[in-house]
Amino acid sequence: MLKELENLLLSVQKPASYVGGEPGSVMKQKDSVDLRFAFCFPDTYEIGMSHLGMKILYSLINSREDAWCERVFAPAGDMEKVMREHKIPLYALESGDPLADFDIIGFTLMYELCYTNVLNMLDLAGLPIHAKDRQSLSPLVVAGGPCACNAEPMADFIDLFMLGDGEEVMMELLDLYKEWKQKGGDKASFLEEASHIEGIYVPSLYHVSYHEDGTIRSVTAMKTAPAKVNKRNVSDLEHVFYPTDFVVPYTEIVFDRAVHEIFRGCVRGCRFCQAGFIYRPVREKSPQTISRQSRLLCENTGYDELSLCSLSSSDYSRLKELLEELLSWTEPMKINIALPSLRIDNFDKELLEKLSSVRKSGLTFAAEAGTQRLRDVINKNITEEEILRTSRSAFEGGRTAVKLYFMLGLPTETADDVRGIAELAQKVVNEFYHIPNKPKGKSVQVSVSASNFVPKPFTPFQWEPQATEEELIEKQKLLRESITTRKIQLSCHHPDISALEGVMARGDRRLGQVIEQAWKNGCHFDSWENHFSAEAWRTAFEQCGISAAFYANRRRSYDEILPWDHLNYGIRKSFLQREAEKAKQAETTPQCRVRCAGCGADTLNGGHCDARCKD
């Protein structure tokens, strides 16, 4: 590492996040590998290091003898200032080498508001931000993650996107790159060849034309690129690569624990939830494999907490068997099992006791909407009775705090629905005072968190207008006024941040210039409330002559060509349309295990879906 950098590090916050060298980080000789991959997370170290996808791909790439994967994070403001002042280019943590030395630079796009950070990181690395200005094969700039399902706003900057599960397509991409590098092939021919790999989308090979009203006329594939790009699907989760070691950070990060993914996909079909659709179909891993792999992981990392990760833990079909398997070694090893998003209503009480024997976690309900009608619209099947019953048993068990999550601005939402949020929270408070043996000398605390609904691609609400900033401010005001007790604590999200997220989520490639302009206006870390500048973004939209409302607040018709229509995530448009119509009637769709709703996701998985085969 540069001596100059070391001397500067003591002047910044959390210097440990800029030096690498953590247990589990992989060192190789750069001359003995054919490929160098810089895995970039466009946010700070403590957020990026918590990301499971990065841990998987880091270990996977490093399992190849011919490749070395290193980590790169966005430096915080103070560090960026120091780097720019002293002309230190953005470097990878393992080798300390600048990004420009790498073959492939890979970004993971976890949320839309990280886009300016991607530009800023490329710039800090001294690289041109536009894909067309990077003419040689290296460094190739690639991206993946959930936002790749509509990454059109980033099309000007990224050479290729990886859609869907990364484990297989990443290896095929590396093989192809190695071949091109060895034969001295050029970037254009590489990109065309790469577009033939299932799951790879090369935006420069698609021409988009527009109608006069601004909507899309057509998207045309050029050269030999496929007309429709399928997302990549890993069908056998049982045998797919899973890391036996993590990089264990020195500094505290957001999720500092061992994590194991127990299944992919979700059976619930909540209509607002993008993850619930784009990760389909449901594919489960066996309890034995999970147990064996996570034990190895705990032994290698020394973590004292194991988190089971999925979109909805209690929908894992063999949960009881899995927990018994895990508890047989986690108890003697004094490891705590964290089971996020667990529905505890019909769960084995004894097992639950054992789970919390080491540490008690909080009680959280994602009710999402304040009335049963609206919960039916969004297909969130949790009832008021369930919430109250579970709260009561939690209070009886000595807990005094409950968290409730809601969304404002959902389709068909009325003032009654907003007031319903306050009423539901009040009922939870009342529940506490109704129990005879309530904890003595303690008050109850109900935290209500109200975020703003953002319509996302590949959901039944993809055609819906997003509530405007003014509407959301009104709704927040109404909600705040409806709460009459201090026992309920309300926290709301900033409407202007949600508005921008909505624009980017359903945007097209004309937004590239706005992102660039906003970045030039000083925008980065847009998902951080203290960094976000609504003014700088507004100016950027004006400078580019682009209307944000066109993307966010307009109702799209079913026959409009959407910017992501040439990407196939398996979910049929006709299914989404059917769900959208049912939503308007407040009609629910049963979860996949009760009855298959025919979403079409199994078509990319050889006709298999674990939600259908089981039970």
400 forms part of the interface with another protein (CB under 8 A)? no
**287-301 and 319-330 helices cross at what angle (nearest 10)?**
30
Residues 355-394 that bind another protein (CB under 8 A): 358-359
Number of residues binding to another protein, judged by CB under 8 A: 28
Best CA proximity match to 615, nearest among 106, 381, 328, 267: 267
The residue among 17 and 117 lying less far from another protein, judged by its C-beta, is 17
In whole angstroms, the minimum distance from the beta carbon of 251 to another protein comes to 6
Give 453-456 contacts, CB < 8 A, sequence gap 24+: 453/272, 453/407, 453/408, 453/409, 453/410, 453/411, 453/498, 454/498, 454/501, 454/502, 454/505, 455/272, 455/502, 455/505, 455/506, 456/272, 456/274, 456/505, 456/506
The residue among 252 and 581 lying less far from another protein, judged by its C-beta, is 252
Question: Which range, of 4-12, 155-163, 338-346, 473-481, touches another protein by CB under 8 A?
Answer: 4-12
In whole angstroms, the minimum distance from the beta carbon of 302 to another protein comes to 3
The neighbour count for residue 9, using CB atoms within 10 Å, is 16
Q: Phi/psi class of residue 230: alpha, beta or left (left: φ > 0; alpha: ψ in -120 to 50)?
A: beta
In whole angstroms, the minimum distance from the beta carbon of 41 to another protein comes to 20
21 forms part of the interface with another protein (CB under 8 A)? yes
Q: Can you tell me whether residue 365 is helix, strand or coil?
A: strand
Question: Which range, of 245-253, 340-348, 382-390, 599-607, touches another protein by CB under 8 A?
Answer: 245-253
Instruction: Tell me which of 238, 252, 535, 581 binds another protein, using CB under 8 A.
Output: 252
396 forms part of the interface with another protein (CB under 8 A)? no
Dist. CA 89–CA 109, nearest whole Å: 22
Answer whether 413's CB lies under 8 Å from 436's CB: no
Longest CA–CA span in the chain (Å) reads 78
In whole angstroms, the minimum distance from the beta carbon of 238 to another protein comes to 27
Q: Is 579 exposed, middle or buried (0-12, 13-18, 19+ CB in 10 A)?
A: buried
Assigned token pair, 325: 């398997």
Dist. CA 431–CA 434, nearest whole Å: 5
Dist. CA 330–CA 336, nearest whole Å: 7
Site string for another protein, 342-361 (x = CB under 8 A): ----------------xx--
Residues 273-312 that bind another protein (CB under 8 A): 299-304
Instruction: Tell me which of 23, 362, 397, 598 binds another protein, using CB under 8 A.
Output: 23
20 forms part of the interface with another protein (CB under 8 A)? yes
Answer whether 297's CB lies under 8 Å from 333's CB: no
Tell me which amino acid residue 104 is: I
Assigned token pair, 110: 């976890």
The residue among 358 and 534 lying less far from another protein, judged by its C-beta, is 358
In whole angstroms, the minimum distance from the beta carbon of 390 to another protein comes to 23
The residue among 7 and 224 lying less far from another protein, judged by its C-beta, is 7
The residue among 23 and 598 lying less far from another protein, judged by its C-beta, is 23
Site string for another protein, 192-231 (x = CB under 8 A): ----------------------------------------
Instruction: Tell me which of 22, 156, 159, 284 binds another protein, using CB under 8 A.
Output: 22
Instruction: Tell me which of 188, 238, 250, 606 binds another protein, using CB under 8 A.
Output: 250
Assigned token pair, 138: 């290296």
The residue among 9 and 100 lying less far from another protein, judged by its C-beta, is 9
Instruction: Tell me which of 32, 213, 227, 334 binds another protein, using CB under 8 A.
Output: 334
Dist. CA 521–CA 160, nearest whole Å: 26
How many residues does the structure list for the chain?
615
Continuous segment of H or E residues that includes residue 571:
none
Q: How far is CA 532 from the centre of its chain?
A: 19
Q: Can you tell me whether residue 542 is helix, strand or coil?
A: helix
The residue among 257 and 268 lying less far from another protein, judged by its C-beta, is 257
Task: Tell me which DSSP letter residue 132 carries.
Answer: G
Instruction: Tell me which of 47, 194, 248, 338 binds another protein, using CB under 8 A.
Output: 248
Assigned token pair, 295: 């034990």
6 forms part of the interface with another protein (CB under 8 A)? yes
26 forms part of the interface with another protein (CB under 8 A)? no
In whole angstroms, the minimum distance from the beta carbon of 609 to another protein comes to 39
The residue among 302 and 397 lying less far from another protein, judged by its C-beta, is 302
The residue among 304 and 324 lying less far from another protein, judged by its C-beta, is 304
End-to-end CA distance of the chain: give it in Å, rounded.
56
The residue among 21 and 128 lying less far from another protein, judged by its C-beta, is 21
15 forms part of the interface with another protein (CB under 8 A)? yes
Best CA proximity match to 510, nearest among 142, 215, 218, 230: 215
Instruction: Tell me which of 135, 218, 251, 443 binds another protein, using CB under 8 A.
Output: 251
Q: Can you tell me whether residue 518 is helix, strand or coil?
A: helix
Residues 83-112 that bind another protein (CB under 8 A): none
The residue among 3 and 183 lying less far from another protein, judged by its C-beta, is 3
Residues that bind another protein (CB under 8 A): 1, 3, 6-7, 9-10, 15-16, 18-23, 248, 250-252, 299-304, 333-334, 358-359
